[in-house]
Amino acid sequence: MVETGLILASAFVAPNVAQVLMLQNRQQKYRYKKNLKLLEEKGIIYLAGEKVKLTEKGLELLERFKIDELVISKFEYWDGIWHLVSYDIPESKKKERDYFRRKLINFGFFQVQDSLWVIPYECKEEIAILTQSCGISSFVAYLKTDFLPGADKLVKYFNLNQGE
């Protein structure tokens, strides 16, 4: 999967395959060409002579890689605001719901209730990008509050220092 990401990135940034291949040894060239052929067979890229172009499927995969790279910035001092994400995603979008839940865990959210998650860091933009890419924006709510029952437990959990 990492090789796929590297190839997709190179296809996006440096579409001239010949230039890339000139910089590598014989074994690397063979592996690179083999991977390109495999991606073409899977419908992810289109090889046009020395040029590599992403197909629609390839663009979707590249977007997924961008989503996987999303991170939430953690600050040294906490401003006292809790950022909550709540969702009610239908069973017909179970795959998207499971992916979204895994991303919340990866971001560092704490699960308050079944579909209610909290984090002490601003992340409205990241959640918007994620929900839009998953096609679940209308099922997700982003909320902010300065009061949350059981906040003492969360302050310890997140190891927070409140700023001046």
SS3 118: strand
Interatomic CA distance for residues 29 and 154, integer angstroms:
51
Interatomic CA distance for residues 131 and 83, integer angstroms:
16
In DSSP terms, 162 is beta-bridged to 78
Q: Quick check: pTM over 0.75?
A: no
Residue 111 dihedral angles phi and psi, to the nearest 5°: -85, 115
Q: Which region, left, alpha or beta, applies to residue 94 given φ > 0 means left and ψ of -120 to 50 means alpha?
A: alpha
SS3 12: helix
19's tokens: 């230039």
Residues 21 and 33 sit within 8 Å (Cβ to Cβ): yes
Task: Convert the pLDDT of each residue in 113-148 to its tens digit.
Answer: 999 999 999 999 999 989 998 899 999 999 999 999
Q: What is the pLDDT of residue 12?
A: 53
Q: What is the pLDDT of residue 22?
A: 56
Interatomic CA distance for residues 95 and 10, integer angstroms:
29
User: What b/e string do you get for 12-46 counting C-beta neighbours within 10 Å, with b at 16 or more?
Assistant: eeebebeebeeeeeeeeeeebeeebeebeeeebbe
Which domains are present in the chain?
Answer: 2-68 (1.10.10.10), 82-158 (3.30.70)
Q: Which residues of the chain have pLDDT under 50?
A: 1-2, 13-14
Q: What is the pLDDT of residue 60?
A: 75
